[in-house]
Structure 1
Amino acid sequence: MSRNVDEIVEQAKPDLIEAVQLDQTGNKNDALQKYMQGISTLMSALNLLDNNDSQRDKLRQQINRYMSRAEELKNDTKIKVNSLEQRKIAANSTGHGYDRVFAKCIDDELESVIVKDAYIIAHHQMLNFVRFCELLVTKAKRLKRIELTTGKDGEKNKEGFAELSKSLEAREISLKIEYSDSIHDREIRFNNGWIVKIGRGLDYFKNPGKYSVGSCDMNLRQCHETTIDIFKTSRSGK
C-alpha cells in the first residue's frame, strides 16, 4: 500500500478496536457506530487504490468482514446507520464554514451535543470551539447541553472554558469539559441521530491573517485538506 493508504488504515484501527471491545461486552449500539466509522475510514483508503493493486482485494476482504458484523448488529439493535455524505475538503478551498458543514445536523429536535476533539488547546482552536457553540446557540432552539472531551493540554484553558460556560448558562445551556491523555476520536455526536467525523477535528481552517478576508467569515477562509464523514442513525420503524 502507498504511504497515504497505510496512514488512513492506521486511522481506522482505533475505531475498529473499540468496536470489537464494545461488541464483546454487549454494548451493541455503540459497537455498531464504531464499526461504521471504522469502515468509512477504510473505504477512504480503498478509494485510493487502483483496481489492479494487489492490496485492494485484501483491504476489501477486511472491510467485508467488519461490514458483515455491522449488518448483524443492525438486525439485533434495530438501528439503521447510513453514511449519507462524505465531504472532501481540498487544500486551499473555501466555502466550508461550520454553518454549511453542520447545517443538516442542527434542528429543533437537537438538545445535546458531544464533541470529542483532542486539540482544543491553542488560542485559535478555542475560538473555533466558541464559534461552533455560537452556531448551536443560534440554530438549536431546544439545546440544553454541550460536552467536550479534549486533550490534557486543554487544562491550560480552564479560565476560558469557565467564561464560555458562564455565557452559555445565561442561555440555559450547560457546558461540560473533560480532559483525557488517551483521546483519539475526532467526532461530534448530535442527540438527534447525526454523527460527524472530521479528520482534523474543528481545526481545518488556515490562518488568513488578522485583517484579511476570511478572518471573520469562516466561509471565506481557506482550508487544510481533510475529509468529513456524516452519518445519520435512526431506529427502524421510525
Structure 2
Amino acid sequence: MSVDKLIDDARPIIQRAVQLDRAQHHEDAANAYMESVDVLLSALKLMDDTDKRKEQLRKTTAEYMSRAETIFPRRTLKVIEAKQRRITAGSVGHGYDRVFGNCLDDKLTKIEIFDAYVSAHHQVINFLRFCELVVSRAPNVKVIKLTTGVDAKNQAHASLMEIAASLKEKNVQLSLEFSQTIHDREIKFNNGWIVKIGRGLDYFRRVDKFALGSFDQNLRPCHETVIDILKVDPRTM
C-alpha cells in the first residue's frame, strides 16, 4: 500500500474522531484518534527522509496521539503472566481448544475479536468453530464482538448473520464491525486474557476433504505463526 493511499485512508477516521471529540464521546473519539495514528505510522514507515511531508506528518501523528491520551487516558496494563506459543510450519496439535482453553471460564462475559480477514468461506468456518468452543466452555458469555475488514461485509455478511442468529439462540449477541484500516489481529477476553496471533484465526493449512484434520483441528497441519498470550489484571484493560 502506498503512502498516499494510507494518508487518504486516515482522513475519514480523523474526521470521525474530531466529530466524536466535539460531541464529547471521549472514549470513542480516543479510539478513533488512535486508529488514525496506526494508519499514519504505517505511512511514516514507508516514507524516506527526502519526503518533505514526513516531518509535518510526524507532528500531526504526535498531536492525535496526545489528544487521545488527554481526553481518555488509558491505564497501563498490569501483566500477570505472559507466554508465547510458536507454531512451526506443518506442525499439528494447535487446535483452538489448546490455544484458547485457559481463556474460557465462568467469569468471561465478553470477547472482542480483531481480525482483518474473516471473509473467505474457510475463514468464516474458523470463526464459527471458535464461537462453538466459546459457547461450550464459557457458560456466561453474553457478547462476542468481531471487528474485521470490509471484504467480509461484501462476501460473508449473510454467513455471519446466520452465525449471529444461531448464537442468539444461546443468549449470545454477535456484534459486527467492518473497518477499512484494521490490521492488528488479537482477541481480548474480559476476564483478563489477551491473545495476539500473527495470522489471526486463519493459521491452519488446507487439507483434503477426507483427510485427517478435516474436522479435528488438532490433527490439521498449521502455517507458521507466533501466538502471544497475556494474562492481565482485568481492572487495567
Same fold (TM over 0.5): yes
- Structure 1 unaligned blocks of 5 or more: 1-12, 33-73
The percent of aligned pairs where both chains have the same amino acid is 49
Cα displacement (A) at 1:157: 1.1
1:25 matched residue in structure 2: 68
User: Letter of the aligned partner of 1:25 in structure 2?
Assistant: A
RMSD of the alignment, in Å?
Answer: 2.5
Cα displacement (A) at 1:23: 6.0
User: Letter of the aligned partner of 2:179 in structure 1?
Assistant: S
C-alpha change, 1:144 and 1:224, in structure 2 (3 Å) is same
1:127 aligns with one of 125, 128, 151: 125
2:178 matched residue in structure 1: 179
How many residue pairs are counted as aligned between the two chains? 178
Deviations, residues 41-94 of structure 1 (Å, cap 9, x unaligned): xxxxxxxxxxxxxxxxxxxxxxxxxxxxxxxxx4xxxx5124511100000000
2:13 matched residue in structure 1: none
Which SS does the other structure have where 2:139 is aligned?
coil
Is the Cα contact below 8 Å between 2:87 and 2:222 reproduced in 1?
yes
Deviations, residues 186-215 of structure 1 (Å, cap 9, x unaligned): 000001011100000000000111110000
C-alpha change, 1:116 and 1:225, in structure 2 (3 Å) is same
Cα displacement (A) at 1:143: 0.6
User: Letter of the aligned partner of 2:68 in structure 1?
Assistant: T
Is the Cα contact below 8 Å between 1:165 and 1:175 reproduced in 2?
yes
What is the CA–CA distance in structure 2 between the aligned matches of 1:80 and 1:206, rounded to whole Å?
A: 35
What is the CA–CA distance in structure 2 between the aligned matches of 1:134 and 1:154, rounded to whole Å?
A: 20
Question: TM-score scaled to structure 2, two decimals?
Answer: 0.69
1:206 matched residue in structure 2: 205
C-alpha change, 1:112 and 1:23, in structure 2 (3 Å) is farther
C-alpha change, 1:154 and 1:235, in structure 2 (3 Å) is closer
Is the Cα contact below 8 Å between 2:89 and 2:223 reproduced in 1?
yes
Which SS does the other structure have where 1:87 is aligned?
strand
C-alpha change, 1:182 and 1:235, in structure 2 (3 Å) is closer
Which runs of structure 2 are paired with 1:1-238 in the superposition (5 Å)?
14=38, 25-26=68-69, 27-29=72-74, 74=76, 79-82=77-80, 84-155=82-153, 156-234=155-233
What is the CA–CA distance in structure 2 between the aligned matches of 1:83 and 1:183, rounded to whole Å?
A: 27
* Larger gyration radius, structure 1 or structure 2: 2
Moved segments of 4+, more than 4 Å: 20-24
C-alpha change, 1:14 and 1:199, in structure 2 (3 Å) is farther
User: Letter of the aligned partner of 2:121 in structure 1?
Assistant: H
